[in-house]
Amino acid sequence: MSNAERQARYRARCAMASPNIVTRPRRPTDRRSRPTRWRDAVAELLALQAKYAAWSDALPESLRESSMAETLQEIVDLDSLAAITPPRGYGRD
């Protein structure tokens, strides 16, 4: 078998194998620091808490004594999230 024949077989084999290759995109890496991620998460939770408060205020009278209303009120009454700050980590924060 000549070099040209070997090369032709190799190219044919590579052409057949390439459609089977599946590449999966990687998820983007979150490069934010932990305190920044904490502040973002707390901001999101406070926004959700405000929406739950509006939902609780809009409940009809027939549902004011239900377990759903009690759960909504517990969520609205959470005050400690904004006061919590994560510890600093070895001078990297």
The per-residue pLDDT for 91 is 60
pTM: 0.61
CA-CA distances (angstroms) from residue 36 to 31, 33, 53?
A: 10, 5, 26
pLDDT tens digit sequence for 8-35: 999 988 877 655 667 788 888 888 888 8
Structure-model confidence comparison of residues 49 and 20, the more confident one: 49
Q: How many CB atoms lie within 10 A of CB 2?
A: 7
Residue 70 confidence (pLDDT) = 92
Chain segment 1-10, per-residue pLDDT in tens: 899 999 999 9
For 71, other C-beta atoms within 10 Å of its C-beta total 12
Instruction: Please provide the DSSP assignment of 24-55 as one string.
Output: -PPPPP----HHHHHHHHHHHHHHHHHHHHHH
pLDDT at 21: 66
